[in-house]
Structure 1
Amino acid sequence: MAYSETEQRNRAAVEEALNKAADDFTIFFTELFTDDTEWTIAGHGPVAGVYHGLRELHDIAEAALFDRLAGPLAVTSRGIWADGADVIARIDSTGMAKDGNPYANSYLYILTMENQKVIAGIEWLDLFAYYDIVDRVTV
Structure 2
Amino acid sequence: MAGFGTLLAVAVSGFAVAALAPLAHARADTADANKAIIQRAFDAWAAGTGGPYDLLADDATWTITGNSLASKTYPSREAFMSEVIRPFNARMSAGLKPSIRNIYAEGNTVVVFFDASGTARDGKPYANTYAWFLDLKDGKIGKAHAFFDSIAFNDFWTRVEPVP
- TM-score of the two chains, using structure 1 as the length reference: 0.90
2:91 paired residue number: 68
2:5 paired residue number: none
1:33-88: CA deviation from partner (whole Å, max 9, x where unpaired): 12111110001143101012221111112233211110211111111111121111
User: Moved runs in structure 1, 4+ residues, more than 3 A?
Assistant: 23-26
SS of the residue 1:7 aligns to:
helix
Q: 1:138 offset after TM fit, Å?
A: 2.3
2:118 paired residue number: 95
Q: 1:34 to 1:118 in 2, by over 3 A?
A: same
Q: 1:23 to 1:130 in 2, by over 3 A?
A: farther
Q: 1:25 offset after TM fit, Å?
A: 9.1
Q: 1:17 offset after TM fit, Å?
A: 0.5
- The question of 1:48 aligning with 2:71 is answered yes
1:22 paired residue number: 46
Structure having the higher Rg: 2
Percent of aligned positions that are identical: 27
More helix by share: 2
- The question of 1:129 aligning with 2:138 is answered no
What value does the CA root-mean-square deviation take over the aligned residues? 1.8
Q: 1:82 to 1:117 in 2, by over 3 A?
A: same
The structure 2 residue matched to 1:8, chosen from 32, 52, 75, is: 32
Count of residues in correspondence between the two structures: 137
Q: Which runs of 5+ in 1 are unaligned?
A: none
Q: Which runs of 5+ in 2 are unaligned?
A: 1-24
Which protein, 1 or 2, shows the higher relative CO under an 8 Å CA cutoff with sep ≥ 6?
Answer: 1
Q: 1:26 offset after TM fit, Å?
A: 6.3
